[in-house]
Amino acid sequence: MRQSQSQQLRLLIGAFRLARPGVAQQPRHFSTRAHNSSKIAARLWEPLTQDCRPKLCYQPFSSTVRMSSLSLKLPNGQQYEQPLGLFINNEFVEGRGEKFDVLDPASDKKILTLAGASPDDVDNAVKAAREAFETGPWADFTGKDRSNILWKLARILKREEKLLAAIDAYDLGKPFEATLAGDLDETVNVFEYYAGWADKIDGKTIDTSPDKLAYTVQEPLGVCAQIIPWNFPIMMLAWKVAPALACGNVVVLKPAEQTPLSAMYFCTLIKEAGFPPGVVNIIPGLGNVTGKALAEHMDVDKIAFTGSTATGKSIMRSAAANLKNITLECGGKSPLIVFEDAELKNAVQWAHGGIMDNSGQVCTSTSRIYVHEKIYDEFLKTFVDFTEKNSTVGAPFDEGATHGPQVSKAQYEKVLQYLEKGKSEGAKVLTGGAKVDRDGYFVQPTVFVDAKEGSQIIKEEIFGPVVTISKFSSDAEAIAMANDTEYGLAAALFTEKISRAHKVARKLKAGMVWINSSGDSHYGIPFGGAKSSGIGRELGSYALDAYTQTKAIHVNLAV
């Protein structure tokens, strides 16, 4: 007796879950040899008949899938195979777009050259994703199936965390130890967290009358375009990809052209985990080519973007063409308020990390510090001393380095221009204020005082290790100064008075407020801003709303 299509599909997925070591399993690395074409060596489907046993009727791509890779030796001596090309439908293919160089910002030397995704490549990636969503095995994965495969991916990421941290440290310039302890730990946690959510996404029943049954279901959106920034490469990938997959979506992700390497290596882990073709597609490329094509594509259901406010506005205009669902996490110019009763040592330490972490290249950086006039002088001295003692400039793999380079020459020059603007506007430099005399894109940690409230260094996002410190005399003045910005991503305040803390937190116009800390986000807490800092929320259960839509179902019982 032949089985029905649905019975076959259940067997297929069940067999996939029963895969054992040695059966079409994936190696950690692929061949280093470049080939002219890529062919699938293992069949994805076998005809399912009544004698089909749980022998893996769905097979992940085998190690004989052809691709190009480059053997790279990292500055710490670690060697690995770096995949090249675009990852579409579980294969690496050559990009047909503009070529661009990936540089080491600590030395200004080229790491490699990549060919980006052209508009036609973007179209192919979207088509592969659409097919996977509509008709591929992924369409029939249960929440438990998605949970299992995300958990498996998290375990693989944990195994590879040191390599991924080293890759990100190399093309971003962030100190390796900070990348490993912060970014990779967060990456693994995020995938584990959403693996736990995948089988808990449900609707609810709504009581109306005895003659009517009404209920809701949460459905995936479909094809999700995701554009991530360069400041936390693999971590930002996790923030976007994990909740989207947990909800049953498929993704086409564009990493930043400055830091694409870890995302490309991540593709090999997607294959190893056993994701069906087309579920995850990663296409490096230039923002004004690849990113633009993704934002404008009419078969993309959602776009999630993290980056500058200017680019976010452009994406929002493009998304209007077919009313794409959007999530935007954009710029910030976050304030940090230190009240007169604050514990000074704690405030100084958090304020330092709040601006100098990742060389100031953090969207939530508390780059405007406001200190009560009674403790202003003491805070200044303590903060400058702490900054000078705890900012060890160095390359990512230098022992003891805490302060790396800016990510690119363009970002480096932008920060230096703001240093000159600050001086020309009359602000005084207490420490730093110049480039570091060495190869690479290094800028000294810089503290400005006496800056006018309307000056550019106070109003505009610099995205570098530059902070202004100003004084205030009353709570009302501090709140007014903190809110005097087009941005509204985050804010921090330091006080020992519990009532003041909560009252001020409510009055600050920001999506996130830290009390007696700064920037210590958590994957279970929503992340996002107000005003020009973006739309929507990432992380926590709130991200599930960003990747699902509610369907209401009405049942007439009076029949």
Compute the distance between CA of residue 278 and CA of residue 152 in angstroms, rounded to an integer. 18
200 DSSP assignment: -
Compute the distance between CA of residue 81 and CA of residue 70 in angstroms, rounded to an integer. 6
Pairing, β 466-472 against β 512-515: unpaired
Compute the distance between CA of residue 367 and CA of residue 328 in angstroms, rounded to an integer. 21
Beta bridge partners of 431: 447
Compute the distance between CA of residue 287 and CA of residue 265 in angstroms, rounded to an integer. 20
SS3 labels along 2-67: CCCHHHHHHHHHHHHHCCCCCCCCCCCCCCCCCCCCCCCCCCCCCCCCCCCCCCCCCCCCCCCCCC
Q: How far is CA 92 from CA 39, 181, 249, 523, in A?
A: 10, 30, 21, 31
183 DSSP assignment: I
Catalytic residue among 329, 373, 425, 477: 329
Contact 50, 2 (CB under 8 A): yes
Pairing, β 86-88 against β 91-93: antiparallel
Give Dmax over CA atoms of the chain in angstroms. 86
Residue reference for tokens 């998605």: 146
Contact 92, 125 (CB under 8 A): no
Is 329 one of the catalytic residues?
A: yes
Q: In what order do the strands lie in the sheet with 335-338?
A: 428-431, 446-449, 466-472, 368-372, 335-338, 490-494, 512-515
Beta bridge partners of 556: 212
Q: Can you tell me whether residue 289 is helix, strand or coil?
A: helix
Degrees, nearest 5: CA angle 356-227-287: 95
Q: Report helix angle 344-356 to 376-390, nearest 10.
A: 50
CB count in 10 Å sphere of residue 9: 17
Total length of the chain: 559
CB count in 10 Å sphere of residue 17: 16
Structure token pair of residue 14? 């069940």
Closest by Cα among 535, 231, 374, 300 to 292? 300
The set of catalytic residues is: 329
